[in-house]
């Protein structure tokens, strides 16, 4: 099983939430739904929170130490897999998929033996469809796009890019159906995008690359790509990301 973790923000019940999840485990779900059919959680009330209910810098080391202790306990008791963490509304919730639960409480007691000052609840239930992972932890396509946006922005920033400087940003899309191709091209033209060329992917699915002058700053590129995802869906296409040139300060 691959260990490949991603961190992103989303809204849960109208509150901001920080989601950390093991993306690599998604490649093994077909097997794990049979061997690890139980969802289990440890929910901890934070002692202090930021204004939006998230973790503060002061408390972060303690929570990360707790996370490590629980993961070590999961390995010691050989119960299951740690799949993700949610921080929202003053709580941090650690989520696991377990093979069995007869020694669940022993795992919790061992993992939290150095954290007696925290208010903790825990439990487990059947989830042989892995719905908590698929529908709560795993990002939607727009959320995945934001993850990729921020990785690209971080990379540009680390290279000295002036993210606030407008420049040509090139996008790609592929047609799920070409029935509304001309309508999509017209919609893009109305928003001042210019088509660069027609393209095909490795499966010979046809698409286009197109560009416009915009800023690749975090907020701006998030807003732009989410609008393009929605536009593509309206006209039978799938948005496939963006790239741009480096502009140094």
Q: Which residues, 6+ apart, have CB-to-CB distance to 4 below 8 Å? A: 22, 23, 24
> 222 and 160, same structural domain?
yes
> 146 and 127, same structural domain?
no
- Establish if 205 belongs to a structural domain: yes
Query: For the chain, what is the domain count?
Result: 2
The answer to whether residue 97 scores a pLDDT higher than 70 is yes
Cα distance between residue 11 and residue 139, in whole Å: 11
Average pLDDT for 179-186:
96
Q: Provide the domain limits for residue 166.
A: 141-244
- Establish if 30 belongs to a structural domain: yes
Cα distance between residue 209 and residue 187, in whole Å: 15
> 97 and 126, same structural domain?
yes
- Establish if 249 belongs to a structural domain: no
> 110 and 27, same structural domain?
yes
What's the mean per-residue pLDDT of the chain? Answer: 95
> How much is the pLDDT for 65?
96
Average pLDDT for 220-225:
96
Which CATH number belongs to the domain containing residue 51 in this structure? 3.30.70
What six digits make up the tokens of 164? 């606030």
> 239 and 116, same structural domain?
no
> 160 and 78, same structural domain?
no
Other beta carbons within 10 angstroms of residue 244's beta carbon come to: 19
- E-state strands within the chain: 5-12, 15-22, 38-45, 80-88, 91-98, 120-126, 167-175, 194-200, 206-214, 237-244
Cα distance between residue 185 and residue 156, in whole Å: 29
């Amino acid at each position: 099983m691959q260990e490949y973790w991603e961190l992103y923000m989303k809204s849960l019940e109208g509150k901001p939430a920080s989601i950390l999840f093991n993306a690599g485990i998604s490649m093994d779900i077909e097997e794990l739904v049979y061997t690890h059919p139980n969802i289990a959680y440890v929910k901890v009330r934070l002692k202090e929170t930021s204004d939006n209910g998230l973790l503060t810098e002061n408390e972060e080391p303690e929570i990360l130490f707790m996370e490590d202790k629980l993961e070590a306990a999961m390995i010691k008791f050989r119960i299951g897999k740690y799949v993700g963490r949610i921080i929202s509304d003053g709580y941090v919730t650690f989520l696991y998929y377990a093979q069995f639960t007869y020694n669940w409480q022993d795992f919790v007691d061992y993992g939290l033996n150095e954290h007696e000052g925290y208010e903790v609840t825990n439990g487990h239930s059947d989830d042989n469809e892995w719905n908590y992972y698929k529908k709560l932890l795993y990002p939607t396509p727009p959320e995945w796009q934001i993850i990729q946006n921020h990785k690209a922005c971080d990379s540009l920033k680390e290279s000295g890019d002036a993210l606030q400087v407008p420049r040509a940003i090139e996008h790609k899309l592929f047609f799920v159906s070409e029935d509304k191709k001309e309508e999509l091209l017209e919609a893009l033209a109305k928003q001042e995008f210019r088509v660069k060329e027609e393209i095909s992917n490795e499966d010979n699915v046809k698409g286009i690359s197109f560009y416009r002058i915009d800023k690749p700053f975090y907020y701006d590129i998030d807003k732009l790509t989410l609008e393009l995802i929605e536009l593509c869906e309206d006209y039978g296409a799938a948005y496939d990301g963006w790239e741009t040139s480096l502009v140094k300060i």
